[in-house]
Amino acid sequence: MHFESEEDRKNIDNIIAGFEAFCVGAVNVTYERYRFNKRTQDVGERFDVYLSELRRLAKSCNFAAMEESMLRDRIVVGIRDDVTRRKLLQMRDLTLNQAIDMCKASETAGQQLKEMATSEEVQLLKSEKQPHRRRGRGGRATVELEQLRRRTRSTSTNRRDRSAERSCRYCGRHHDVSKQSCPAFGQTCAKCHKRNHFAAVCRSRPATTTPSHQQNVREIDEAVLQTDTALTIKRVGLVRDTRSQTEKLRMQ
């Protein structure tokens, strides 16, 4: 490393700058600023770590007097929490220190809320399991009530399964227990002409003739036969009378 004077050789800042120039070499400021502007907060990354990375990248960007304002803008744009970003944008004349303090406060509050929610969930789970662990009369009653509910649900499930296995009395097929699932719903039976069932499972019986009905039918048939016979005899008598009268007229 080359120093212009002996005093520069003893100055610690000049020594650090000389080491950086020797080890790092020439820096492309445009590319370093590109890296700085592309840096955003990663998922799960703490804000302190993100801020340290921004400060490290800013050293090689040659921002000079604008370094604090560039860091402030990069924090507002690069953080992952939209709620915190909204609060930062609502503040006028926002400074770098204000942005850092607000981001740290928001991160701490978020962690505290998460811990409080976790503890409440644990307490809720404990309270739900507690009745089953009770001893004595109250605990036994709770357990018996839960067992009764389970048996009731099991019984209703078994009934639905058995009803699904039986054939439908309206169509003779297997389907869900609902009238909309039955193909005979809304149809007319070809046997009894009633609705909502098929003729294959029709339960209506054919009309049977009782003995008294048969006797009445027989008497009606005999009466009709006698009436027809009497009419026939009268017609024959009229024909004979007509012929005899005609013969008499001819003989005269």
pLDDT of residue 173: 81
Say what percent of the chain tops pLDDT 70: 59
Q: What is the pTM of this model?
A: 0.42
**Res. 135: pLDDT tops 50:** no
pLDDT of residue 176: 73
Q: Is the dihedral of CA 148, 153, 159, 165 positive or negative?
A: negative
Give 164's Cβ-side CA count (13 Å radius). 7
Angle subtended at Cα 195 by Cα 193 and Cα 199, rounded to the nearest 5 degrees: 60
The conformation of residue 102, written as its DSSP 8-state character, comes to: H
- Please give the mean pLDDT across all residues of the chain: 78
Say what percent of the chain tops pLDDT 90: 33
Compute CA distances 212 → 3, 217, 219, whole Å. Answer: 143, 9, 11
> Could you tell me which residue, 27 or 134, shows the higher pLDDT?
27
- Cβ neighbors of 87 (< 8 A, separation 6 or more) are 102, 106
**Res. 58: pLDDT tops 90:** yes
Average pLDDT over residues 109-137: 70
The conformation of residue 208, written as its DSSP 8-state character, comes to: -
**DSSP 3-state of 241:** helix
Match 């109250």 to its residue by tokens.
Answer: 138
Residue 165's pLDDT band (cuts 50, 70, 90): low
Amino acid at 170: Y
Phi-psi label, residue 78: left if phi above 0, alpha if psi -120 to 50, beta otherwise: alpha
Joined together, the tokens standing for residue 121 give 């969930």
What does the pLDDT look like over 17-51, one tens digit per residue? 666 666 655 679 999 999 999 999 999 999 999 99
**Res. 91: pLDDT tops 70:** yes
168 close to 182: Cβ distance less than 8 angstroms: yes
Q: How many whole angstroms separate alpha carbon 38 and alpha carbon 61?
A: 13
39 close to 54: Cβ distance less than 8 angstroms: yes
Average pLDDT over residues 219-234: 65
